[in-house]
Amino acid sequence: MWRAIEVHPAVDKIGRVQPSRTDVHLARLLRLIGVCLVAALPAILLPYTVMNALHRDALHLGELPDVVILQYLSRTASLLYAMHGAILVFVSFDVRRYRPLIVVLGYLNGFYGLVAFTVDLVFGMPLWWAAWEGPLIILAAVLTIRLAKRDAADSSELAQVS
């Protein structure tokens, strides 16, 4: 009388699509990157004296010039980092829906990592800084793109089989 209902492995008993392991890893990666970037938000409010102390004493980069353009750029850059992080966290909650955007953001982040690395070297940032900043951003971008594209390929194969 009752027949067993065959359920696709990616769909639960009430019809909700379950995320793949790749989607879960992608979401976690996006959240990790996003939270790290959102952490730049408090820097908007840092007084010049604190920024100068960090620049001079913690980073050993000498005195930080107290000029308007530097105040403007440091605060707006912090805000842009935080906004980008918030976008990554937001899209991480629906990676299937935002996959094309995630891939684009991955490529943009990879390009940014290359530019950051080049700028670090050209303008004489400490080697430890250049070795961390650009390559780490590039690595995160490559992982993001690979995870997003891998699951997209897996999803299209599943659709063809069904």
pLDDT tens string 23-55: 999 999 999 999 999 999 999 999 999 999 999
Task: Tell me how far CA of residue 114 lies from CA of 66, 81, 118, 130, in angstroms.
Answer: 29, 17, 6, 11
Confidence class of residue 72 from pLDDT cuts 50, 70 and 90? Answer: very high
**Residue 86 phi/psi, 5° resolution?**
-65, -40
Using the predicted structure, report yes or no on whether residue 76 has a pLDDT greater than 50: yes
CA distance 159 to 11: 13
What is the reported pTM?
0.82
pLDDT, residue 1, reads 43
Stretch 79-95: mean pLDDT, rounded?
Answer: 97
Identify the CA nearest to 144 among candidates 18, 39, 33.
Answer: 33
Confidence class of residue 14 from pLDDT cuts 50, 70 and 90? Answer: low
CA distance 125 to 39: 22
Using the predicted structure, report yes or no on whether residue 136 has a pLDDT greater than 60: yes
Confidence class of residue 155 from pLDDT cuts 50, 70 and 90? Answer: low
